[in-house]
Amino acid sequence: MARMSNKRRLEWSFFLNDRSRITYNELCRKCQHECKQSFRAVVVDCPKYLSKRSKKKNKTAGNGKIP
């Protein structure tokens, strides 16, 4: 593996683990989107993440009546 320059190391310092490898959050590891978050961050809400356990949203407007 190629070494990182000092400038790049400073840019990626929040993502580097103890072995100096770029590490993403467990939730973001298998995600196909480019909005990756660091393993140090606590993910509160990710708009692009869809959990299989999450409640499904209804596609009806408001009270469910058709105008």
Task: Kindly tell me if the per-residue pLDDT of 10 is higher than 60.
Answer: yes
What pLDDT score does 56 carry? 65
Burial of 38 (0-12, 13-18, 19+ CB in 10 A): middle
* Residues facing 38 on adjacent strands: 24
- Which structural domain, as residue segments, surrounds residue 17? 1-42
In a domain, 56, yes or no: no
What pLDDT score does 65 carry? 64
In a domain, 36, yes or no: yes
What pLDDT score does 43 carry? 74
What pLDDT score does 45 carry? 75
In a domain, 59, yes or no: no
More confident residue, 6 or 66: 6
- Report pLDDT digits (tens) over 29-67: 778 888 888 888 887 777 777 666 666 666 555 565 665
SS (H, E, C) the chain: CCCCCHHHHHHCCCCECCCCCECECCCCCCCCCCCCCECCCCCCCCCCCCCCCCCCCCCCCCCCCCC
